Amino acid sequence: MSKKVLVVGDVMTDVIVKPEGPIVFGSDRRAAIESRPGGSGANQAVWLGAAGADVVFAARVGMVDKASHEGHFRLRGVTPMLAGDPVLGSGVLVTLLDPSGERSFLTDRGANLNLSAEDLPDSLLEGTGLVLISGYSFFAPGPRAAVQSLLGRARERKIPIAIDPASIGFLEEVGPRTFLAWVGEADWLFANESEAEMLAGTADFDAQMRFLGTQFKQVVIKRGRFGAALGGKDGIAVSRPAPIVNVVDSTGAGDAFAAGFIAGLTAGLPVEECLERGIENGARAVQFVGGQPK
């Protein structure tokens, strides 16, 4: 299998807000505010680059800052294939952090909403060993049609496909059956606990694996501080714990996990070791602010 990974997803600027205390409705609250590069697909691509993987990232950004985004990705070992939007600016995500490290999001996807089939040509699939699609790409009609076209062409070429649902909020809006129908069959699913429960319609962990395994050949469920597990239609096959670390910000931890796992996969490592590498990456990611490696 070729080691090149093609990632398709959003590019966002993350504005991270950490209030000193509870937000006071209609008044002020002091806060630490930072601006960092983000977006689920972008995070995955940069974490893959940090792991030494051969990674190409396809997305759509505002034309005015296309060159700066391209420079950012190249410096981090990622080959950018970015389309510039002449109308919409690049996406922006405001992250509100509470003292426990949990986060809430306010999202303006901007140019990501105009991702088109023309932005994802056949040339992207040449020499590709795996296609990783962020679930955000399915939640608007234009990007959905674009990635569905790409996935159809990947299936024709028998290129493995990995899906990360990415957003429990959007999954709730569209419904699990609709999302699964949009995605179709794939080789890998990377879901967190909440996403797996919603998609499978059950809180039973092994039943989630069995249900999701009927559509995805391999199912990986990210369990945060409890580690992660791998399985499929026959249930849980491998489970690993997570190390105890100081959680500063959980933004991008799932993206870091997926990247660590896939980097191990493309290096030919056993799935048990891939799972361990994913967990290590996720644990590293929660120890600093922001969704991309330092």
66-110 pLDDT tens trace:
999 999 999 999 999 999 999 999 999 898 888 776 778 888 999
Distance of CA 18 to the CA centre of its chain: 23
Q: Which neighbouring-strand residues pair with 94?
A: 15, 106
**Residue 2 pLDDT:** 63
Q: Which neighbouring-strand residues pair with 5?
A: 55, 130
49-65 pLDDT tens trace:
999 999 999 999 999 99
* pTM for this predicted structure: 0.90
- Specify the 3-state DSSP secondary structure of 196: helix
Place of tokens 């796992």: 261
**What's the token pair of residue 158?**
């028998």
Give the separation between CA 188 and CA 236, rounded to whole angstroms: 14
**What's the token pair of residue 73?**
């990705």
Place of tokens 């792991």: 51
Give the separation between CA 234 and CA 221, rounded to whole angstroms: 15
3-state SS of 29-59 is CCEEEEEEEECHHHHHHHHHHHCCCCEEEEE
**What's the token pair of residue 146?**
């674009």
Domain residue extents for the chain = 4-11+38-89+110-285
Give the separation between CA 223 and CA 240, rounded to whole angstroms: 10
Q: Which neighbouring-strand residues pair with 38?
A: 12
Q: What is the mean pLDDT of each run of 10 residues along the chain (294 residues)?
A: 88 90 86 90 96 96 96 97 97 85 84 97 97 94 97 97 91 94 97 96 95 98 92 95 84 91 95 95 84 80
CATH placement of domain 4-11+38-89+110-285: 3.40.1190.20
Tally of CB atoms within 10 A around 123 = 8
Give the separation between CA 200 and CA 213, rounded to whole angstroms: 10
3-state SS of 100-138 is CCCEEEEEECHHHHHCCHHHCCHHHHCCEEEEEEEHHHH
Nearest to residue 138, comparing CAs of 105, 161, 106? 161
Give the separation between CA 116 and CA 107, rounded to whole angstroms: 20
**Residue 102 pLDDT:** 75
